[in-house]
A and B are shown apart, each in its own frame.
Chain A
Amino acid sequence: MSTVTPTTMDDKPKATTLSLDTPTASASAPSTAEIVFETADLSVYYSLFRAVRDVNLDVRQGQITALIGPSGCGKSTVLRSFNRMNDLIPGARVEGTLRYRGVDLYDPKVDPVEVRRRIGMVFQKPNPFPKSIFDNVAYGPRIAGVKKKSELSDIVEASLQRAALWEEVKDRLSASATGMSGGQQQRLCIARAIASNPDVLLMDEPCSALDPIATARIEELMAELKHDYTIMIVTHNMQQAARVSDRTAFFTAELDPKTDQRTGLLVEYDATTTIFSNPADQRTENYITGRFG
């Protein structure tokens, strides 16, 4: 499949040039691909605290979009607002619009449950259910109404195959999921998300709790998965964003003079190659070249 050249951590890119082996898909990511998400002046509040403001971006089908930036600038908050996960936090609300395939995601008629069945999520720390591997992956289809054992088995096998986990666990599907290594658990969580046949996959720092080898495997996986799913990923690791994503959004946090709070905001959003080789904003360039963050 696509080749990925890992760049070492201390390989700080020089001022404007970066030698990358970009994933082939990015070259062919046309700006004519369909728009999956569209935001307009999106702000997310936790009660009175504005966590992030003025987010304007569009996510296109078949691409991997990365959200990067230093800690505390609202990247995860923005990501979670894409599948209404912020609803779980009391006091969380949204201003501005967020459209999913033309539909206002925060329309009062919209059921978050439906949203989440189409927009799946993989979390930072792998969180398999304390059930068997089979039951973990079958959970999504089951609540979607698939009852027949043969159908479920097919779905489970297919999901595990796509998550590159099948060969390792095919003999012990009834073993407890919590007995696996971290990397395996995260791939299981990916398989679990895939099993519901979502449209979009949101990944919130999926590799930050994993070792480099597991990380590399998941990055490989992402490159394969983007053919079928639109993927958005939040990552602290710039090099990872450079490796896997087609488009990158850079966030930062600034002191809002009106409210005296540190609020996140989107600084720049463009093709990954542009962000990393020729960023338009000085703040982006500072971050990329390691002057801060």
Chain B
Amino acid sequence: MSVTVRLPTIMRANAGGQSEISAEGSTIGEVIDDIVKQFPGTATHLRAPDGGVHRFVNVYLNDEDVRYLGKLETAVGDGDTVSIVPAVAGG
């Protein structure tokens, strides 16, 4: 499956200056693996020390938060849009 991935401006320097990239995968987890494979510099923002996805990253599939879908196992379809959004929060 090929999906469009929208990146925040903060990540573009690590993605060849692009705001949208194409990535392959059948699940959100595979899409993220492919992003990091294509652009290793994105690991700074996406990868947690344990190899998972950083907890400060919110991932949306066609505007739905994947935490409320199937998390990293969420299936993606050809032509879907995946958005990477920094989790900006505090108290």
Tell me if chain B binds chain A: no
Binding site for A on B (CB under 8 A): none
